[in-house]
Amino acid sequence: MSGLITWARIKSPWLFHFNSGSCNNCDIELLDALTPRFDVERFGILLEGSPRHADVLVVTGIVNRQTLPRLKRIYDQMPNPKIVVALGTCATSGGIFSEGYNIAGPVDKVIPVDVYIPGCPPRPQAIIDGIVKALAKIQALRGGKR
Amino acid sequence: MIDLWVVGLSIAYIVLIGLLIAPNIGLFLTWIHRKLGARMQWRIGPPIYQPWADVIKLLSKELIVPETAHRATFLLAPLLALATVILAFLIMPFVGRTPLAFVGDVIVVIYLMSMPALAAMIGGSASGNPYAAVGVQREMTLIFSYELPFIMAALVPILKARSLKFIDIINYQLGNGPLVFTISGFLAFVVMVMVMQAKLALPPFDIPEAKTEIIAGPYVEYSGPLLALFKLAHAVMLLVVACFVSNMLLGGLIVSDWSSYVVILTDLLLIAVKILVVIIIAAFIRFYNPRLRPDQAFGMFWKTITFIAALALILSFVPIPYF
């Protein structure tokens, strides 16, 4: 039974995309990865509009003081089990903005992050590879609650 | 005194056909939709197990009831949606016979087919989310605009067969040929295809759950198992609508002779072809059209489609063959 559930979780990751103060480059690349050219629906990946429907939270951008409470709230709104993917250099480390006066991030300072996808911006291939690594992590955890 | 055998057989029928066969066929039909959409965009598309993986995953996830929600209503609305569509499927003849047939089953099925939209409205308004409120309001306006032409189109086969029973309508079509090959029947088919699209909330009429405008409409706050029930209800609804159109206008889902294997096989094949034709038409409309603005959709239903339905209704009274 737990094997079936793990299988279903790996085969059907639904994304929710949150921009926590990004320059939009990572967002454009994420949307590029979701176009028919890369056809991520082969792996069951869909972009959902509501965090309540999603399994994977994709965060782009440095987390600034404005978006900090929103990011926390959206993370809490997602049903367990959930995965967080930090997309882009800013989300993983803060990048060139890491010493800015209004920075509350990077993402792993605020919420637990499972997979980091560096790059400014990362290529769509790298994004798909990152999501696949996140799914391998579910396989390793056997779908247990984090 | 009720015979225990009859009760046992009815329960077995409901469990076997309603809870096992109907959702699985429905999920298969949603896969056909997604795969066709993928092929139309020159991509490979999801594998055949995709809808099952989605539903199992959603069933295994956490269930969140928002603080603002009315708890009991919020929890019961998805059950209402799934139960009503499965009941509609059980009442309709699927291979020509159903133990639940009675006089007036067409009316009951027409009512049951509007229940999923009502359940979405009930659940959406119980969730206390502003996006859901907008979705509920849009869903309500859409129901008001499509129900009238739908009932007018459904009256065409009822008046032709002079009966409110599915079996009589199917038998009439067995004698006189499928109604879609008559002028009034074809117009009713066009109306029903458009209404079907709105009933299933597919583009161009996915106004109530428009993802880019109001996130997911009434389903915004639903998570985990409850969302899975809504997805299952939507999948079974796809099957129910296809069966309804096939029974009313495409000659019916019927095995005409149970004694000959050849007839059984060809008729079962015909049943599959009829359902697939309706599903594929819906998929083509869905993937080749953008979403209409609410006022455009309501105007289209009230002006064009109601007019076509009225024309079909009038033509069905003309006592000439092929009218």
pLDDT tens, residue by residue, B162-190? 888 888 888 888 888 788 888 888 899 99
Residue B323 lies in a domain: no
Q: Which position has the higher pLDDT, B17 or B110?
A: B110
Tell me if B41 and A36 make a contact (CB, 8 A cut-off).
yes
Q: How many CA atoms lie within 13 A of B49 on its CB side?
A: 11
Domain tally, chain A:
1
> The domain containing residue A87 runs over which residues?
2-141
Checking if the pLDDT of B2 tops 70, the result is no
Closest residue in B to A9 (Cα) is B57
B247 part of a folded domain: yes
pLDDT digits (tens, 9 = 90+) for B209-257: 877 788 888 888 888 899 999 999 999 999 999 989 988 888 877 777 7
Q: Does B38 touch chain A (CB under 8 A)?
A: yes
- β-strands A46-47, A83-87 pairing: unpaired
Percentage of chain B modeled with pLDDT above 70: 98
Report pLDDT for B52.
92
What are the pLDDT digits (tens) for B67-95? 888 888 889 999 999 999 988 888 888 77
Which residues in chain A (18-47) have CB-CB distances under 8 A to chain B? 36-37, 39, 41-42, 44
Please check whether residue B266 lies inside any domain of the structure. Answer: yes
What pLDDT shows up at residue B233? 92
Q: Using a CB cutoff of 8 Å and minimum separation of 24, what contacts does A68-72 make? A: A68/A104, A68/A105, A68/A110, A70/A18, A70/A20, A71/A18, A71/A20, A71/A107, A71/A110, A71/A111, A72/A110, A72/A111
How many other β-carbons are positioned within 10 Å of the β-carbon of residue A73? 10
Measured from the Cβ of residue A121, the count of other Cβ atoms closer than 10 Å reads: 24
- Encode pLDDT of A9-22 as tens digits: 888 889 999 988 88
Q: Is B321 inside a domain boundary?
A: no
- The range of the structural domain enclosing residue B291 comes to 4-315
pLDDT range class, residue B96, cuts 50, 70, 90? low
Contacts of residue B45 in chain A, CB cutoff 8 Å?
39, 41-42
Quote the pLDDT of residue A80: 82
**In this structure, is residue B320 part of a structural domain?**
no
Beta bridge partners, A17, equal: A58
Quote the distance between the C-alpha of residue A3 and its chain's center.
24
pLDDT band with cut points at 50, 70 and 90 for residue A93: confident
Look at residue A135 and tell me if it is in a domain: yes
Phi, psi of B251 (to 5 degrees): 95, -5
Q: Give the angle subtended at the CA of B83 by the CAs of B80 and B85, to the nearest 5°.
A: 105
- To the nearest whole number, what is the mean pLDDT of chain A? 85
**Residue A145 pLDDT > 70:** no
Nearest to A38 by CA among A117, A121, A122, A124: A124
Q: Which residues are paired to A14 by β-bridges?
A: A46
List pLDDT tens digits, range B254-302: 777 777 788 888 888 888 898 999 999 999 998 888 888 888 888 889 8
Residue B321, min C-alpha distance to chain A (Å): 49
| B229 domain residue, yes or no | yes
Q: Using the 8-state DSSP alphabet, how is residue B291 labeled? A: P
Domain annotation covers residue B322: no
pLDDT-above-90 percentage for chain B:
22
Number of domains in chain B: 1
pLDDT of residue B150: 92
Residue B51: its pLDDT value, please?
92
CATH code, A49:
3.40.50.12280
pLDDT tens track for A70-86: 999 999 888 888 889 99
Counting one residue from chain A and one from chain B, the pairs whose CB atoms sit within 8 A come to: 83
Structure tokens at A100: 């800015």
Q: Which residue has the tokens 């072809």?
A: B273
Query: Does the pLDDT at position A146 exceed 50?
Result: no
Does the residue A146 lie in any domain? no
Nearest to B131 by CA among A47, A14, A51: A51
